[in-house]
Amino acid sequence: MTIGRLMVIDDERSDQMMHERIIRKTGLAAEVVTFTYAPDALGYLRGPEGAAVDAIFLDINMPRMTGIEFLEALRAEFGDRARPVIMILTTSMNPRDRRWAEGFPQVRGFVSKPLSAADLDAMARHVAGAG
Q: What is the pLDDT along the chain (131 residues), one digit of tens a residue?
A: 789 999 999 999 999 999 999 999 999 999 999 999 999 999 999 999 888 999 999 999 899 999 999 999 999 998 876 679 999 988 876 788 778 888 888 999 888 888 999 999 999 999 998 65
**Confidence (pTM):** 0.93
107-112: strand order across its sheet = 29-35, 3-9, 53-59, 85-90, 107-112
CA distances 74 to 68, 99, 106, Å, are 10, 18, 10
Quote the pLDDT of residue 81.
67
Rounded-to-integer distance, Cα 53 and Cα 86, Å = 10
Look at the chain and report how many structural domains it folds into: 1
Q: What is the CATH number of the domain that holds 19?
A: 3.40.50.2300
Quote the pLDDT of residue 7.
97
Q: Which of 14, 98, 111, 95 is nearest to 56 (CA)?
A: 111
Residue 26 CA, distance from chain mean position: 17
Quote the pLDDT of residue 131.
59
Which residues constitute the domain of residue 72? 3-128
